[in-house]
Structure 1
């Protein structure tokens, strides 16, 4: 988009455009403090880059490509190691776009990659440079954006940690100067005042600028009254803790995160992106904190607090108490807590055997009954600031062996009865639904668990964090979710699955902790770990299900819609046995229909770290090829539409040019003349009230520096109004029209 010199000073337009750029920067500067966005200075650089490209008035066919090149260079600089001038980084970019496109189509918003999010934000900044040009320079109405900027800065200053004292002064100065220039520009246009010279404009503007700066300085330095209204943040925080709403079944509002009390579940929550800890891992894995065993009808409590085992070495082999059939893959992890809040236990991976820290005098305890791992400092349970290291043997759970476990609980399993406990007043339709879900499934514990796990997504249950009901005293939490609302979050899904499994006489328990988090590319906690660092926030607080299998152990399942089980499953057999055909014919390798993949596929993928690390390309070469074609077609289509839109006037002019040349008539001459009027109006040459056509033509010629509009108007009046026969002069009309059109379009 070019800054066209319409009927006002070009330098005033440039000044307004620069003012809009400074206001836009005020929107970006706070992001580094109020969000987890890093490198905000790079976004500032890109804003300046886009505005400069517009100011230097490059041709329309080249400016967008330069801005796109700048965008791609910035993405390469932030996220990729290969050089911008190599093709390797482009392949990595397409892989990231493929992952995000799949997540976008699947509405898995939290799985969008940082690259894709940054790309969208840069495109937004690019589009804002065009939008602000229209607001500030074309229509000269900057007040809306000025007001929004004031509201934005004051809201951040009120409700976040951002200190907007200096920012609000900057916005005030920029805004007043912008409004002065815009109003002056509008008066010059409306009153037909001759645009003054730059020196005269400076004499007009300088006193006003001095007054603005002095007023701002006095306002900033002058003493101020104490706040007259109470702080709204305190009220909101209190409401977030105590809950909004009243009445039975109304959903309270809580803040998401780890908490100790689960005896009354239900109600919505508000998101909290506070970072709890950073962790190193090769792939995202669930971080377990504890389990609970007794369901009350409204939530979870413990029937047995257990007896913790304490030692100073931090070695607890019975954390990962799995059978010999469970293959183990050794891995290590590190934790660094940032703002743990109410969390005073150590989250750990499945298969953890050892926990340690660099701090002296710290001992550890593990409670086998509750699954809690904690550190003891000065005889008190607490977390060390220096963080922890973990050693784990990541388990691969054998499907074939789990399918051999009968559904009913047997006393030989030596599993406490508390993992089969259910309230006496549990509605019968809950157990009836469980039996209905597994009615067409092979009768074994694993397939029963998988059937219930997939039931919620197959039946259209909705994942939601707001407007989630709380059951009244005479309602059951699970019954309400399964049959009335079918809307909720992880606590609803995991509790319902445990209850239905127990109604089928299958031992199960409720587990809670955190999901794996998101990769943290911009962090200083583990500088040498690259992309193997994950940021775990309060938003990642989660609950899931554990089912007991004899000779295997407690196996995690994930029933929540939109979440995937991050545990590893395999057939439990070696590849050699499968290829030699020595497996028992009565124990086929084919998984039941409700499995996501065949056992053979899982076995062939076993140990493939590229899949575990989230490496893309799992769709095969064809999926990448199709995505590349789709991306190219989309970009080509958008580029074609954009070119047609940007050059629509020239395209229409060329078409009318040919039509006027081939078929001169009253209609074609009228259409051609009307087209000239539209072009002039779009360039700022508008009819004034009471102005005749000849007067308008005279004023246009005076501004264009020729007499072509007057000549064209005379031909038009003679041919259309007087109906004179001007066939012999059509060529001259055509030449004048063509020259005038070319001059206007070249402005």
Structure 2
């Protein structure tokens, strides 16, 4: 390569690097991406490899090595020879692939996101090289860069004034240089270095003057008003009107109501011998709009890892202790636990704190900071609540002892409409014990008038009670509507009850050791239900939500009395809610589409773990085969082309065949120089192979292109010459 061409190519790549850099500069401002220097350095190294024309089989491993090293510098730490880093990397990438396969982009770790950004930059540098050196046109990328900066400057905190000035200068320089390069390719100029200088000098002056004048001259005020405030206000109004939330765990329950959207993000996977709900926390105070906690926050205690939990009443049966292994995917410091919970292990370097106001367990480090565990083990027994004991309960044996219980868990707002209390009395009138009264209220919600719905859910007005709206007007909602309403009805007849948050059992995804099952719990399984207090049994769960099952076990030590569902009370003068076609109910804890999309993954993972050697050998064979195919493509492609053109016979057959021959000769190693005519190139080919075949083919080709002569009649004769030249290219270039 001549010195002038080297300088010219270097300038193109340098301007291309600066233009691509404008895409990276706003990233730390609009996202939480750090360590930007590694990504910028990767762009520079990629363009340097293209500039020095490294072969592809050398570029690819170099780039992969640089990416792994930069990821290690960002996330690894320690020594390069530490094998734990590679184990963490492989495990994280496997989880990332799993999330990508199910479309769960939110579950990607920072490591996986950084790898994807490196791959994106790899593709962008390849496209930049293609636009600069092959197409010799950068206009599309230039316009995309302007639009990108303009959008960020308009709708984000990024200020793109100087960025736009730089883009204009760089873009015009590239457009001018590439136009001149295309012009040189069409015309045969002598003394090209001198012409390049003559062209570049006025181009630099023009760009400099234009940028300076654009910056210094006064600007007219905008003719049209700024559309951004209008767009933002419209978006805010739409959002406030729709009030669509995303399902999942959140600490704030003070404002309930309104529709929500599903979220398939995985929260945790649990290996357990039995299926049950997973409890997180409770709330005690109903405000009329939602739930808050009013119990003293210091009503708790510290627990060490493995220490027996003294609060919950476990099964009285002599049963073995069961263990559930929780693999956390979405980091929360709180612990999820089943009923009849005994202990939790997995934070030996810290401790667990029980919060009595929320009935919640949180993991802490030694310096009293919440810590997010990656895995922990909870021990429990199967619940066995005695129906005989529960039916005996008509009141607490010593009310003085249970003052706090009635203070916090029979509370109702003064603004609660009287018809809610009247409905509670009506439902429970035929029963004299707490259990049957609770069952009667639970069954009340299973009537046909109530509809489980996540979308068409109303939001109570400012002077409207959340429960009253659901019970007497809409009859439509999801778990929060059902559970809050049941707690309110129970408290209205002086039965202590509380509102519980957690997750349903999740989706079955496979078997584990010792006959355990693996369940995957996503944000879609976030749920709320009811707990009722019985002095001898503790807090017993109830499930009023239509379409859901209660996984708690009961001792059938007394014959169960059938309780007929009570029909909901309707007022004659109430305004009927608009009829909405009821769709077939699907249980929230069993989204079939999602379950089927992920159920194959654990099996594939287990099979690959058991047969990893076969996969490695197969992968090596495939890689070696692909490398051989690419490395020797000039040897086998001619036979593919000959086979392909055997059965073709149309007007353009010779044109396509001739162009494929030119590409094969280029792969063979005889490259056509810029500005070289086809006849000059044909003479070079014939000189190398000591034939006159390429010249004859070129003459036919030029007659077809420039004179329009048909060549389909001569294709049989030309095909022999064409095939002969192709076969000559299957041998090594001497």
> What's the TM-score bracket when you normalise by the shorter of the two chains?
0.5 to 0.7
- Contact kept, 8 Å, 1:100 with 1:116, in 2: the verdict is yes
Q: Distance in 2 between the 1:471 and 1:288 partners?
A: 27
1:478 deviates by 6.2
1:507 aligns with 2:497: yes
Alignment partner for residue 285 of structure 2, among 293, 300, 303?
Answer: 293
1:125 aligns with 2:121: yes
Structure 2 vs 1, CA of residues 407 and 638 (structure 1 numbering), >3 Å: closer, same or farther? farther
- Contact kept, 8 Å, 2:532 with 2:540, in 1: the verdict is yes
Structure 2 vs 1, CA of residues 202 and 679 (structure 1 numbering), >3 Å: closer, same or farther? farther
1:165 deviates by 2.6
1:265 aligns with 2:249: no
Which residue matches 2:162? 166
Alignment partner for residue 207 of structure 1, among 196, 202, 206?
Answer: 202
CA-atom RMSD in angstroms:
6.7
- What SS does structure 1 have at the residue aligned with 2:145? helix
- Contact kept, 8 Å, 2:247 with 2:261, in 1: the verdict is yes
Summarize deviations over 1:249-276 as a string: whole Å, max 9, x none: x5568999989784463256999xxxxx
1:219 aligns with 2:187: no
Structure 2 vs 1, CA of residues 289 and 36 (structure 1 numbering), >3 Å: closer, same or farther? farther
- What SS does structure 2 have at the residue aligned with 1:509? strand
1:203 deviates by 2.5
- Contact kept, 8 Å, 1:292 with 1:510, in 2: the verdict is no
Which residue matches 2:96? 100
- What SS does structure 1 have at the residue aligned with 2:173? helix
Which residue matches 1:197? 192
Alignment partner for residue 657 of structure 2, among 650, 675, 678?
Answer: 675
1:140 aligns with 2:136: yes
- Contact kept, 8 Å, 1:494 with 1:544, in 2: the verdict is yes
Alignment partner for residue 109 of structure 1, among 105, 108, 113?
Answer: 105
1:57 deviates by 1.6
Structure 2 vs 1, CA of residues 316 and 738 (structure 1 numbering), >3 Å: closer, same or farther? same
Q: Distance in 2 between the 1:149 and 1:269 partners?
A: 34
1:95 deviates by 1.3
Alignment partner for residue 382 of structure 2, among 379, 384, 400?
Answer: 400
Which residue matches 2:512? none
- What SS does structure 1 have at the residue aligned with 2:57? coil
1:226 deviates by 7.0
Q: Distance in 2 between the 1:480 and 1:642 partners?
A: 71
- Contact kept, 8 Å, 1:266 with 1:469, in 2: the verdict is yes
- Contact kept, 8 Å, 2:634 with 2:730, in 1: the verdict is no
Unaligned runs of 5+ in 2: 264-277, 304-308, 315-320, 322-332, 338-353, 361-366, 425-434, 446-450, 503-522, 546-550, 558-586, 590-600, 668-675, 704-709
Alignment partner for residue 416 of structure 1, among 406, 417, 437?
Answer: 406
Unaligned runs of 5+ in 1: 272-285, 310-314, 328-346, 352-365, 373-386, 431-441, 453-458, 487-491, 513-538, 561-568, 572-583, 587-593, 597-615, 686-694
1:33 deviates by 1.9
Which TM-score applies when normalising by structure 2? 0.54
1:74 deviates by 2.1
Q: Distance in 1 between the 2:205 and 2:310 partners?
A: 77
1:39 deviates by 0.7
Alignment partner for residue 323 of structure 1, among 278, 295, 311?
Answer: 311
1:698 aligns with 2:683: no
Q: Distance in 2 between the 1:93 and 1:239 partners?
A: 44
Q: Distance in 2 between the 1:709 and 1:258 partners?
A: 74
Residues 248-647 of structure 1 correspond to what in structure 2 (within 5 A)? 250-251=242-243, 262-263=254-255, 265-266=257-258, 291=283, 293-294=285-286, 296=288, 299-300=289-290, 306=294, 317=300, 323=311, 389=369, 398-400=380-382, 403=385, 411-412=395-396, 414=402, 415-416=405-406, 419=409, 470=459, 493-499=479-485, 507-509=497-499, 547=531, 624-625=609-610
Kindly tell me the number of residue pairs found equivalent between the two proteins.
550
- Contact kept, 8 Å, 2:470 with 2:481, in 1: the verdict is yes
Structure number with larger C-alpha Rg: 2
Summarize deviations over 1:132-185 as a string: whole Å, max 9, x none: 333343333422221221122222223222232332222222111122223333
Which residue matches 1:709? 694
- What SS does structure 2 have at the residue aligned with 1:64? helix
1:211 deviates by 2.5
Q: Distance in 2 between the 1:427 and 1:637 partners?
A: 72
Structure 2 vs 1, CA of residues 44 and 402 (structure 1 numbering), >3 Å: closer, same or farther? farther
Q: Distance in 1 between the 2:17 and 2:542 partners?
A: 51
Q: Distance in 2 between the 1:678 and 1:411 partners?
A: 92
- What SS does structure 2 have at the residue aligned with 1:508? strand
